[in-house]
Amino acid sequence: MSAKTETPAPSAPGVHPKPFWSFRPRSDREAGDAVVSNFLLHWFPAKTYKPSLDWGYSFWLGTASAALFFLLVLSGLPLLLLYVPSVERAYGSVKDIEFVVTFGSWIRAVHRISAHLMVAAVFLHLVRVFLTGAYKNGTGRGQRREWNWVLGVVMIVLTLFLSFTGYLLPWDQLAYWAVTVGTNIASSVPFVGPEVRELLIGGRTIDQATLIRFYVLHVIFLPAGLGALLAYHMWRIRKDGGLAKADRWTLSQEKTEAPATRTKTYSLLGVARGQAPAIRAVTLEARDTTVNSVNDLVRRIAIVVLGTFAVVSILACFIPSPLEEPANPMITPNPAKAPWYFLWLQEIVTDTTLKIGSFTINGAFLGGVILPTILLGLLLVWPWLDRSPAGAAGVWFHASRKRQNLVFLLLVLVVLAFTIVGTFLRGPYWNFYWPWEAWPELPTRI
């Protein structure tokens, strides 16, 4: 390891600094110093394992999710100054943001697009972590990757609720009825269903109490909770010795190393028996398995974060945010759909509703409560049910995990297929229509 410590020459008087900040450490020492002396960079370890930086391992989906969360907070701040959480004024304030405030429609679009993309990115991140067995512990001491997985499951639930609570705020027909459909599922819980719904919406109907409840959850509790869990998620990754791929890679490196040698004993003048510690002849660092976090890790994070910002900013110029008629509890749209990420549930509810003669067995309980609870429960405990060897951690489609990966992928495909059917192929009365089929003319129900 080279440890040159030259200090950069002070800029000559009259010479203007470069318009873009750039930093290239000239030695390992300088790279390490950069990490500890900079507020933003001190979150990172001084060194990163090379395999963690592979684009094709993590696809950086976790980093993209974090970037979207950051963008949501950033774009949410100006909206917070303009939005009024009252049934009488909410719709008007959103209309003002959309049509009167300078750049208002763009800021609203950035916020809305980031929210949708974050749900998708977090879901894909979960799928990647499962398929690479990255919740498994390797050989490092004190690893608790399974807890980071459990934490992740809680985070995806919070992400969904963060998005769901934001859905109601424009107080238009779309918002009102999507939240009505979503919260109606909660009332199917046996015995306490109506009470659960009442707790959620603050009464029997969706009105001012619901709006203020969703607003406070959306702007304070859910983002604060998610932010705190995210900090813990990141800390755990460091504590677990980095990403699972690095762990598995160092394991294979160790196998090829020279065997440990016995060098000295702790025995006390030969009177007490001592244990001879094994000293590794070759250290991992000497084998060049790590790189400096500054710049190798920082550059990649900057590319992912700035790339995410750029994609969202461009999309926001072309995709306008919807704003329908003001919410009207007397006019039910047909079909009334939940937000897209809950449509697979709405679809299961319909498919598990059975009609036997004049009896109807309501599917809301089976499809809306029992099935999702089982799925969520299985997700939470899966790291303890997965019996594959530690060597399967951090490997895409490891042979020992073939069966579980197949079943998992099948479930993912079912969820995606149901989401697509619910979004594009369901018309009035939740009947199935191909995209080229016209929906029948319906009288407006009052």
Tokens representing 159? 């992400």
CA distances for 189 relative to 164, 206, 339, angstroms: 19, 19, 20
Residues 262-291 close enough to bind ligand HEM by CB under 6 A: none
Would you say 7 and 29 are in contact if contact means Cβ atoms under 8 Å apart?
no
Place of tokens 């001491």: 141
On the CB side of 9, CA atoms within 13 Å amount to 4
Alpha carbons 365 and 33: distance in angstroms, whole number? 58
- Residue from 109, 117, 185, 237 binding ligand HEM (CB under 6 A): 237
133 makes contact with ligand HEM (CB under 6 A): no
Q: How many residues bind ligand HEM (CB under 6 A)?
A: 30
153 makes contact with ligand HEM (CB under 6 A): yes
Cβ count within 10 A of residue 132: 24
244 makes contact with ligand HEM (CB under 6 A): yes
Q: Chain-centre distance of CA 404, in angstroms?
A: 22
Tokens representing 245? 């791929």
Stretch that binds ligand HEM, among 240-248, 278-286, 317-325, 338-346 (CB under 6 A): 240-248
Q: How far apart are the first and last CA of the chain?
A: 77
- Residue from 47, 49, 51, 62 binding ligand HEM (CB under 6 A): 62
Alpha carbons 216 and 219: distance in angstroms, whole number? 5
Q: Which residues contact 286 (CB under 8 A, 6 or more apart)?
A: none
74 makes contact with ligand HEM (CB under 6 A): no
- Residue from 32, 34, 49, 58 binding ligand HEM (CB under 6 A): 58
Rg of the chain, C-alpha, whole Å = 27
**CB-nearer residue toward ligand HEM: 98 or 247:** 247
Shortest distance in whole angstroms from residue 134 CB to ligand HEM: 3
**CB-nearer residue toward ligand HEM: 155 or 211:** 155
115 makes contact with ligand HEM (CB under 6 A): no
- Residue from 394, 395, 401, 419 binding ligand HEM (CB under 6 A): 394
149 makes contact with ligand HEM (CB under 6 A): yes
**CB-nearer residue toward ligand HEM: 157 or 192:** 157
Alpha carbons 418 and 150: distance in angstroms, whole number? 25
Stretch that binds ligand HEM, among 65-73, 187-195, 285-293, 365-373 (CB under 6 A): 65-73
346 makes contact with ligand HEM (CB under 6 A): no
Residue, CB closest to ligand HEM = 152
Residues 305-324 close enough to bind ligand HEM by CB under 6 A: none
- 322: nearest Cα among 88, 89, 112, 160: 112
152 makes contact with ligand HEM (CB under 6 A): yes
Q: What is the DSSP letter of 295?
A: I
176 makes contact with ligand HEM (CB under 6 A): no
243 makes contact with ligand HEM (CB under 6 A): yes
Place of tokens 């459990």: 150
Q: What is the DSSP letter of 426?
A: B
**CB-nearer residue toward ligand HEM: 384 or 432:** 384
Would you say 166 and 156 are in contact if contact means Cβ atoms under 8 Å apart?
no
Site residues for ligand HEM per CB under 6 A: 58, 60-63, 65-66, 69, 122, 125-126, 129, 134-135, 145, 148-149, 152-153, 155-156, 159, 226, 230, 233, 237, 243-245, 394
